[in-house]
């Protein structure tokens, strides 16, 4: 996935995340965040619900820098664009 794909809010999965029904996407606006999408098991194109899991600290050329708080501690992470696998709608495969 490219930085531009990410900024356009295209859904993606991550290597190492073995859930077949979870994807992620960028949500811009006044508070930039990484959103997790929960999809239906038998209709993978349908998003049941989503939640914000990380705040975005910085959007770089090779990766995004993220943070969240857990039990009062700041958790910092980063994800490289090359590790993001763009989600392809099942309808687009036909």
Q: What is the pLDDT of residues 24-42, one digit of tens each?
A: 999 998 889 999 999 887 7
Contact in structure between 40 and 46 (CB atoms under 8 Å): yes
For the cut 60, the answer to whether the pLDDT of residue 93 exceeds it is no
Q: Which residues of 10-45 are buried (b: 16+ CB within 10 A; e: fewer)?
A: bbbbeeeeeeeeebbbbeeeeebbbbbbebeeeeee
Mean pLDDT of 1-24: 88
Angle ∠(68,73,75) on CA atoms, nearest 5: 40
Instruction: Please give the Cα distance from 94 to 90 (Å, whole number).
Output: 7
pLDDT tens for each residue of 50-90: 999 999 999 999 999 999 999 999 999 999 999 999 988 77
User: Helices (DSSP H) in 26-75: which residue ranges?
Assistant: none
- What's the predicted TM-score (pTM) here? 0.83
Instruction: With cut-offs at 50, 70 and 90, classify the pLDDT of residue 91.
Output: low
């Amino acid at each position: 996935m490219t930085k531009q794909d990410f900024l356009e809010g295209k859904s993606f999965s991550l290597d190492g995340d073995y859930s077949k029904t979870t994807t992620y996407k960028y949500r811009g606006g006044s508070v930039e965040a990484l959103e997790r999408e929960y999809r239906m098991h038998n209709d993978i194109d349908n998003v049941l619900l989503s939640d914000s899991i990380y705040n975005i600290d910085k959007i770089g050329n090779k990766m995004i820098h993220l943070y969240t708080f857990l039990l009062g501690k700041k958790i910092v992470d980063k994800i490289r664009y090359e590790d993001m696998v763009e989600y392809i709608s099942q309808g687009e495969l036909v």
